[in-house]
Amino acid sequence: MKFRDRTVLVTGASRGIGAAIARAFAAEGATVVVNYLRNAEAAEWVAAECRSLGGDGWALQADVTDDGAVRAMADRLSDELGRLDAIVNNAFRPYAFDPEKRALFWDLEWGDYRSQVDGALKGTFTVCRAMLPLLRRRPGGSIVNMATDLVARPTVPYHDYATAKSALVGFSRNLAAELGPLGIRVNCVAPGLVYPTDASRSTREDVKDRIIAQTPLRRIATPEDMAGPVLFLASDWSRFMTGQTLYVDGGLVMG
């Protein structure tokens, strides 16, 4: 198994894309830290699934935007597991992909942008900074940040959300340049619309149909579709890749 004897932290992993990624790592033998914010029962369920799949699972609560909480999580990982090989920054501030009810630019306040930046970028910054000493203990560490294809193709202009994710891509490239000499790689996975997730439940069928019609592979992604690309970027198979954004949207964005 590709990730046997490796420890992976997946933030926001109690449901949706994060849960699918956690299960996929576990199926490859990893010890998976299932980070969650509020839903302890769901996180424990995902951790149990990880154990049943042949890896190990450990549910750990922390608000990734809270520096103290993340540092406490890093201390627990250091004391109880002693290592960290990969981080998947999947947690983000709640958002509803509803084209009919989205806020138009002239209805937005700067606080709307700041809220999404805190969710997408501050959370990633806080986790990366706190976990860096653990990552540096072993060679070949990897960080995978979850972005969106909206940064390249605003199919629907979700201004605040896509702007925050654009900042995340810029942050990831700079971090890749900084950490490369330390042997730590940083890349992004940029999904299109993923269904079903809590964020996409408000997306109407006609909107999904329009996206499908523009997508060469002619379907909407599932959470499980994100797992393979994330595992690839976290594995030795991508050992000479860093600072990249991998679009996983069925060909909606090319190049």
Among the listed residues 36, 95, 158, 161, the single catalytic one is: 161
235-245 residues labelled b (16+ CB within 10 A) or e (exposed): beebeeebbeb
Active-site annotation holds for 247 = no
Structure-block tokens of residue 44: 């424990």
Q: Helix or strand or coil: residue 122?
A: helix
DSSP 74: H
CA distance 72 to 55: 24
Bridge partners, residue 145, by sequence: 89, 188
CA distance 30 to 43: 17
Structure-block tokens of residue 82: 């002693």
Residues with catalytic roles = 161
